[in-house]
């Protein structure tokens, strides 16, 4: 509690909803609307999403990223299945076993790598092992990758295609955890279609909350046939709102008029500005490339402590393998301003000696 927005580099989820989203909620609050998704906002959302992604699709709004990821995975993997993912994936470490709960006990098979990206050869080897084990092992069932990754990196379209091709060769459908999909998208500079289904993605958890919504994410199936019975899964998980218009209207506002892209561009630009500034700090060494809106950087302990005391909020990140100093994670958001970044950098320079 009590974090000043301008000094927050802890997470993009402590921001308020952006103006277009709040305006949409207020506008939706008039008269009656059909419940459980039988409303005009939800209908329009599907149309807009199809336009944005340039394909037929089925889109299912939910209120949280954990719900989006877990519902998506439960649609792809049976209870006796294995889901290949990065060992540091959010679904592995940060969702208190939600994927296991929703799938009825499927196993997340974590693959290691330093930058959060899964390599095709890793996936290939893991599937080969499972195949040799046969009935004693969980059945290879799905691939889940995160874009942008948990380490702030972004798969290139070539990397994406190579990885999804490996999965598809073995019949595995592919899920993308896109909690920060917009940040990856503006980095790639390609169309939403190119970044997803044209690169082999079957199901996308489309994040919006971190990038300006109040509480809205969506599960997007690029092949509607894959979504059979998905509505029942959402209902029985308690994720079908009765006053559904309030979920759909957020996503409508988010996807229309480029709001999502503008927000993500601002967040990424601020991360780049911050990274450039840090490069001039003597004791700072980058831990990961800065592709989107997250920065992993190693700093001397006394510098980190000084920044904390000065009221800047960010997380120490002990999982980084660094030889000395302290690794921290800095996150920028649509609400971060150039002044916020410059204040941080000024303080860092001042404390660095």
* Pairing relationship of beta strands 294-299 and 326-331 according to DSSP bridges: antiparallel
The H-or-E segment that residue 193 falls in is helix 192-195
Residue written as token pair 């005009």: 40
Query: 181-188 and 259-278 helices cross at what angle (nearest 10)?
Result: 80
Token pair for residue 44? 């329009």
CB of 326 to a copy of itself, least distance (A): 15
270 closest CA partner among 189, 339, 332 = 332
The token pair at 118 is 């899964």
CA distances from 320 to 221, 317, 333, 348 (A): 34, 6, 22, 21
3-state DSSP assignment of residue 344: helix
Residues 147, 178: Cα–Cα separation, whole Å:
5
Sign of the CA dihedral with 288 first, then 121, 191, and 55 last = negative
Minimum distance between the CB of residue 215 and a copy of itself, rounded to whole angstroms?
5
Compare residues 243 and 285 and give the one whose CB is closer to a copy of itself.
Answer: 243
d(CA 94, CA 89): 8
Interface region with a copy of itself, contact rule CB under 8 A, candidates 3-11, 152-160, 166-174, 253-261: 3-11
**From candidates 239, 265, 273, 329, binder to a copy of itself by CB under 8 A:** 239
Pick between residue 18 and residue 284 the one whose CB is nearest to a copy of itself: 18
Among 52, 219, 240, 295, binds a copy of itself (CB under 8 A): 240
One-character DSSP codes across 129-142? HHHHHGGGSPEEEE
| Count, residues near a copy of itself per rule CB under 8 A | 85
Q: Residue 198 or 210: which CB sits closer to a copy of itself?
A: 210
Stretch that binds a copy of itself, among 47-55, 80-88, 218-226, 272-280 (CB under 8 A): 80-88
Q: Which of 54, 223, 231, 262 binds a copy of itself (CB under 8 A)?
A: 231
Exactly one of 49, 57, 59, 71 binds a copy of itself (CB under 8 A); that residue is: 71
Q: Is 8 in the site for a copy of itself (CB under 8 A)?
A: yes
Backbone angles phi, psi at 217, to 5 degrees: -135, 175
Residue numbers 10-69 binding a copy of itself by CB under 8 A: 11, 13-17, 22, 25-26, 28-36, 38-40, 43, 62-68
Least Å distance, CB 154 to a copy of itself, is 22
Dist. CA 66–CA 217, nearest whole Å? 9
Token couple for 305? 């402590």
Interface residue with a copy of itself among 53, 57, 58, 70 (CB under 8 A) is: 70
Which of 189-197, 239-247, 267-275, 284-292 is the region at the interface with a copy of itself (rule: CB under 8 A)?
Answer: 239-247
Closer Cβ to a copy of itself, 199 or 209, answer by number:
209
Map the footprint of a copy of itself across residues 194-213, applying CB under 8 A.
209-210
Nearer Cβ to a copy of itself (46/55): 46
Distance, in Å, from the CA atom of 77 to the CA atom of 142, rounded to the nearest integer, reads: 6
Near a copy of itself in 101-140, by CB under 8 A: 101-108, 129, 132-133, 135-139
Question: CA-based diameter of the chain, in Å?
Answer: 62
Closer CB to a copy of itself, 96 or 339, in the complex: 96
With binding defined as CB under 8 A, does residue 269 bind a copy of itself? no
Minimum distance from CB of 143 to a copy of itself (Å)? 17
């Amino acid at each position: 509690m009590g974090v000043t927005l301008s000094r927050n580099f802890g997470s993009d989820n402590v921001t308020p909803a952006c103006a277009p989203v709040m305006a949409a909620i207020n506008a939706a609050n008039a008269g009656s609307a059909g419940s459980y998704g039988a409303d005009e906002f939800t209908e329009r959302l599907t149309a807009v999403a199809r336009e944005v992604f340039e394909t037929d699709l089925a889109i299912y709004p939910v209120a949280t990223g954990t719900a989006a990821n877990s519902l998506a995975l439960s649609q792809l993997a049976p209870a006796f299945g294995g889901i290949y993912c990065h060992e540091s994936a959010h679904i592995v470490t940060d969702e208190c076993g939600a994927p296991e709960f929703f799938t009825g006990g499927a196993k997340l098979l974590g693959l290691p790598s330093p930058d959060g990206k899964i390599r095709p050869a890793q996936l290939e080897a893991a599937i080969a092992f499972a195949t040799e084990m046969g009935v004693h092992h969980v059945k290879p069932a799905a691939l889940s990758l995160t874009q942008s990754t948990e380490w702030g990196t972004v798969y290139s379209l070539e990397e994406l295609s190579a990885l999804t091709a490996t999965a598809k060769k073995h019949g595995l459908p592919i899920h993308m955890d896109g909690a920060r999909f917009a940040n990856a998208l503006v980095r790639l500079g390609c169309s939403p279609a190119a970044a997803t289904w044209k690169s082999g993605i079957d199901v996308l958890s489309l994040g919006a909350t971190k990038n300006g919504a109040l509480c809205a994410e969506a599960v997007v199936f690029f092949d509607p046939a894959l979504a059979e019975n998905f509505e029942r899964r959402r209902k029985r998980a308690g994720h079908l709102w009765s006053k559904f218009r309030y979920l759909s209207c957020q996503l409508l506002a988010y996807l229309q008029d480029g709001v999502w892209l503008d927000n993500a561009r601002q967040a990424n630009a601020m991360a780049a500005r911050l990274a450039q500034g840090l490069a001039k700090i003597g004791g700072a060494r980058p831990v990961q490339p800065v592709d989107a809106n997250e920065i992993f950087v190693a700093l001397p302990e006394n510098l980190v402590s000084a920044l904390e005391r000065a009221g800047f909020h960010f997380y120490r990140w002990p999982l980084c393998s660094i030889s000395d100093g302290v690794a921290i994670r800095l996150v920028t958001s649509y609400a971060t301003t150039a002044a916020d970044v410059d204040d941080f950098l000024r303080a860092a320079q001042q404390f660095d000696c």
